[in-house]
């Protein structure tokens, strides 16, 4: 209502397609009411009277979508003809596969007497530690000084500085969550 006709709107939302693709259950810490992919965001804008000029994906906080749109004086309700369906069963199956793969890698590391380190003491790490990896992580590293020497909420892990890695022999393994 505040934007004049032909005014430009920019909307940025978390990109749920990444979460859906990998079965990433850690994304729900933000407790959004709605989750979008490019198709659903574009359709919402069109239905709301906007002409979408451009959409962009960028890597911010697990993935985001931005959309530039112009408020149209001619309202269109012609939605993009795409399938909006989301299979909760498929998503849950992907989540279970992700967890199985993660635990397999962590157990393999432990059986090889390797140290398991989580780099980054953010919200997603906290969820992962409290729900999946409690007791399976040797320590947590973060390069943000205000997090160092603090403890992960809900767990008994102290956050250590990156210099701690210099004291350990390690091999890098990346499984994003």
**Does 32 map to a domain?**
yes
In the chain, the number of structural domains is 2
Question: pLDDT of 146-161, one tens digit each?
Answer: 999 999 888 889 999 9
- Cα-based distances in Å from 141 to 56, 113, 164: 32, 19, 8
What six digits make up the tokens of 106? 């962590």
Range of the domain at 61: 8-71
Reply yes or no on whether the pLDDT at 2 is more than 90.
Answer: no
* 40 and 111 both lie in a single domain: no
Radius of gyration of the chain (CA): 21
Of the CA atoms within 13 Å of residue 75, those in its CB half-sphere come to: 5
Note the maximum CA span of the chain: 66
In this structure, of 20-34, 104-118, 148-162, the range with the lowest mean pLDDT score is 20-34
- Check whether residue 38 and residue 109 sit in a common domain: no
Whether residue 59 is found in the same domain as residue 112 = no
Q: CA–CA distance from 8 to each of 52, 54, 148 (Å)?
A: 10, 11, 42
Indicate whether 67 belongs to any domain.
yes
- Which residues contact residue 5 at a Cβ distance below 8 angstroms, ignoring those fewer than 6 apart? 71, 72, 73
174 lies in some domain: no
Q: What pLDDT shows up at residue 16?
A: 85
**CATH number of domain containing 109:** 3.40.50
What's the predicted TM-score (pTM) here? Answer: 0.64
Instruction: Place 172 in a pLDDT band, splitting at 50, 70 and 90.
Output: low
Question: Do 30 and 98 belong together in one domain?
Answer: no
Is the pLDDT confidence value at 79 over 70? no
Provide mean pLDDT across the span 51-67.
88
Place of tokens 């393994």: 173
Q: What is the DSSP letter of 30?
A: G
Q: Does residue 161 share a domain with residue 96?
A: yes
The predicted pLDDT at position 177 comes to: 46
Question: What is residue 45's predicted lDDT score, i.e. its pLDDT?
Answer: 93
Q: What is the pLDDT of residue 175?
A: 53
Alpha carbons 32 and 30: distance in angstroms, whole number: 6
Mark which of 17, 41, 71 sits at the end of a domain.
71
Domain-located, residue 80? no
Q: Is residue 27 part of a domain?
A: yes
pLDDT at residue 111, as a whole number = 92
């Amino acid at each position: 209502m505040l934007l004049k006709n032909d005014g430009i709107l920019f909307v940025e939302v978390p990109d749920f397609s990444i979460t859906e693709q990998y079965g990433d259950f850690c994304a729900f810490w933000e407790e959004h009411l709605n989750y979008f992919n490019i198709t659903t965001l574009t359709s919402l804008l069109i239905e709301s009277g906007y002409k979408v000029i451009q959409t962009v994906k960028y890597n911010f906080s697990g993935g985001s979508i931005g959309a530039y749109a112009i408020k149209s004086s001619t309202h269109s309700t012609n939605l993009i003809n795409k399938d909006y369906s989301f299979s909760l069963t498929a998503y849950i199956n992907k989540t279970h596969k992700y967890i199985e793969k993660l635990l397999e890698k962590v157990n393999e590391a432990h059986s090889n007497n390797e140290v398991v380190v989580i780099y980054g003491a953010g919200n997603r790490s906290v969820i992962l530690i409290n729900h999946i990896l409690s007791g399976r992580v040797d320590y947590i590293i973060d390069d943000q000084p205000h997090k160092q020497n603090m403890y992960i909420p809900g767990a008994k892990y102290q956050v250590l500085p990156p210099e701690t890695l210099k004291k350990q022999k390690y091999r890098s393994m990346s499984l994003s969550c």
